[in-house]
């Protein structure tokens, strides 16, 4: 049974590891940033636009989690997460960068596997 309480922690871990990897890539090219500078870049820079589909789903899960306190995960959120993480072609920019990070980051790969397991439970 997919409950948001079960899915949310692994999804947040995955999102954090992707943010960390994206920040590392960005800082290698532009130099170290303070947290506030990174947050501004995350919002303003096109280089981070690829993360938007996952960030939007995280926000929707958080909202549903708060609204349902927590109930059974809405099927559309679970299906959307599965599709996004399964490279189904619906978000090619995300999926291309995501696949690249999974190849380079053991932490992201572990978070990916945990999230997929949570989505299948």
Beta bridge mates, 3: 72
Distance in angstroms (rounded) separating the CA atoms of residues 120 and 110? 16
Q: How many separate domains does the chain show?
A: 1
State the helix-helix crossing angle for 52-68 and 75-85, rounded to 10 degrees: 160
Whole-structure pTM value? 0.87
What are 16-71's pLDDT values in tens digits? 999 999 999 999 999 999 999 999 999 999 999 999 999 999 998 888 877 765 55
Q: What domain range includes position 13?
A: 4-120
């Amino acid at each position: 049974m997919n409950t948001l309480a079960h899915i949310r922690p692994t999804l947040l871990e995955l999102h954090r590891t992707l943010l960390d990897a994206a920040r590392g890539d960005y800082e290698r090219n532009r130099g170290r940033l303070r947290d506030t500078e990174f947050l501004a870049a995350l919002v303003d820079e096109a280089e981070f636009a690829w993360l938007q589909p996952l960030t939007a789903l995280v926000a929707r899960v958080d909202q549903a989690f708060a609204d349902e306190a927590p109930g059974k995960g809405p099927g559309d959120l679970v299906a959307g997460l599965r599709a996004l993480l399964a490279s189904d072609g619906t978000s090619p920019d995300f999926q291309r960068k995501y696949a690249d990070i999974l190849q380079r980051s053991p932490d992201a790969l572990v978070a990916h596997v945990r999230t997929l397991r949570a989505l299948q439970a």
